Amino acid sequence: MKSEPIATEISLEKPYEWTGLRSDFATEGDDATARVNNDTALEHGLERAISALTHDQHADGYWCYELEADCTIPAEYILMMHFMDEIDAPLQERLARYLRRHQNEDGGWPLFEGGPADISCTVKAYYALKLAGDLPDAPHMRRARDCVLAAGGAARANVFTRIALAQFGQVPWRAVPFTPIEVMLFPRWFAFHLSKVAYWSRTVMVPLLILCSLKRMARNPHGIGVRELFITAPEEETDYFPVRSAANRVLIRLDAVGRRAERFIPRWLRRRAIARGEAWFTARLNGHGGLGAIFPAMVNAYEALDCLGYPADHPYRRTAREAIDKLLIEHADEAYCQPCVSPVWDSVLAALALQETGQARAIDAAERALQWLAGEQLLDAPGDWREQHPTLPGGGWAFQFRNDYYPDLDDTGAVGWAMYRSADARYTEARERAARWVAGMQSSNGGYGAFDADNTHDYLNEIPFADHGALLDPPTADVSARCAILLNYASRENPAYREPLSRVLEYLYAQQEEDGAWFGRWGTNYIYGTWSVLAALEVCGVDPQHPAIRRAVAWLKRAQRTDGGWGETNLSYFEPELRGQADASTSFHTAWALLGLMAAGEAHAPEARRGIDHLLATQDTEGLWHEPQFSAPGFPRVFYLKYHGYSKYFPLWALARYRTLTGSAA
């Protein structure tokens, strides 16, 4: 097996002003001078990037960068304030400024920077601004309204938007799927059961089922509505559920039957189901981490607690609201709300980048991060994953500061990777526990989902509630790649891990697309997926001449842009033929492509040199990179994210890796 080399320490005595790498040496006599200049540029670029990253490290050892989503989240925060009649006017105005600034020229709001208008996001943003006091005749509101009407009106918005509209009395309850709380009483063998959907679906659904079953209405103290967003009057609209497939047609009809039968549900049965749902979500309130540690679930829980009669000063209510407010990012004149926080993910990726540099202070910062991470490992905490694996010892990490019920495989694989690279004996037990947990969470096809094994009940994505198509957590190549890295390291010490490692590698080979790329479920998109798998194949000692690796290398080289960088639009989730394409290069896509090429033995390729040139040419004087593009899907085609840390640690990682593999020669 190949080991991963670590560079020697960087030592710089004075700052350097970047003037560009030379990739075309004019004469043999110029070569030595160009090489010295290139080496100096790379060294100083690395030094600035290290300084910038270590400057952001928290005193406790972790990193936690902003995690920005589309305007649905800040809009929902305003809706929540009016739902509860808990309106903070100054905060509301700062949120409204953020919404106005992110409106497209066509009047709508996109799911990601530079994307087309999305009707559901636009309806919520418009409603939030109207609640915040924007007049419907204001130019930006007229443009938003025209955008919604041109897309078919608010009746065409998604299920979650229509549920919010029903709660505010803007559509009848028949406009939303039949979501009875009695599903809490279904046995595990039934076609629908909470354990059969993803963790994020469970945590969002349970309190929402209570709200919808009790038909809880928003307080809406100012009585503001948005009937102007409908082409047909909401009470006259008959087409709230466009048919997506033959199976969906059948389930829509069953949904209608269930709605008509709801009045026959005995009151005692409903009370029992509500009590079951209440017990389920209150057990998972997760302190100041919030239910599921994700904003939609937290808001539903907060509103459900009020609906169930918990007073405002009850510890559950108070803590639930504090958890929500911890997600706010407030600036002097505007604010937005994050969907969650990412300290474990940010910290381990920053640590991996710093480890690659070999620089003493960088290694020290990485070690402090690993020490913090060691204390965050979830060992004996309860978790939904234990329903499938009751005898499996814990050993995973969550994504957030606290999310005890829901450790994830991706973070765990990455933390284990960094701990094995550290080789510090203090992490021996932690990484062994992580490897054992990962091996035990393998799906039957050899791959790994993010939070559960075999969460592949595809028929559930056909139910009317699941029009977002993201109800499940099936295995994916990117998560599986991180798990393969951890299993490979563990197998060097314990042969028992070779069998699950072999199975996950077979899964990864099977997932490769015909053109050589791999799909990226948790990062945009095929460039991310391809880097993830190539990194795993390198650590696992796969020959760089393996046909799968050569196909991936060829695809990455074809995807390189004329400026030397790489980029990929989030539209590739809608149109796969756009994979590896974008209007502009980004630092993180360029870093992923470079890391992928270098993992495949292409460090000396001209494409790698041009990519490094691009990174150094776009680095600012503080050692960082900045771009507006969103870097990942929360749910492909539905919800997207901008990890603010991706432009800080991934370019550094690529520069350091290049220096390691080329002996400081650019």
Rounded to whole angstroms, how far apart are CA atoms 242 and 153? 14
3-state SS of 588-653? HHHHHHHHHHHHCCCCCCHHHHHHHHHHHHHCCCCCCCCCCCCCEEEECCCEEEEECCHHHHHHHH
- The C-alpha angle 567, 572, 573, rounded to 5 degrees, equals 130
Radius of gyration of the chain (CA): 25
Q: Which residues contact 476 (CB under 8 A, 6 or more apart)?
A: 447, 448, 449, 450, 519, 521, 522
Backbone angles phi, psi at 640, to 5 degrees: -130, 160
CA atoms within 13 A on the CB side of 254: 11
Among 113, 122, 159, smallest CA distance to 140 is for 122
- Partners of 168 in beta bridges: none
On whether the CB atoms of residues 326 and 89 are closer than 8 A, the answer is: no
Q: Which residues contact 207 (CB under 8 A, 6 or more apart)?
A: 277, 281, 291, 297, 300, 301, 303, 304
Rounded to whole angstroms, how far apart are CA atoms 268 and 262? 13
CA dihedral sign of residues 573, 79, 168, 269: positive
Q: Which residues contact 266 (CB under 8 A, 6 or more apart)?
A: none
If DSSP codes are grouped into helix, strand and coil, which group holds residue 316? helix
Task: Count CB atoms within 10 A of the CB of residue 399.
Answer: 22
Task: Count CB atoms within 10 A of the CB of residue 97.
Answer: 16
Which single residue is written with the structure tokens 């066509």? 106
- DSSP run (H or E) holding 238: none
The residues assigned a catalytic role are: 410
Task: Count CB atoms within 10 A of the CB of residue 384.
Answer: 16
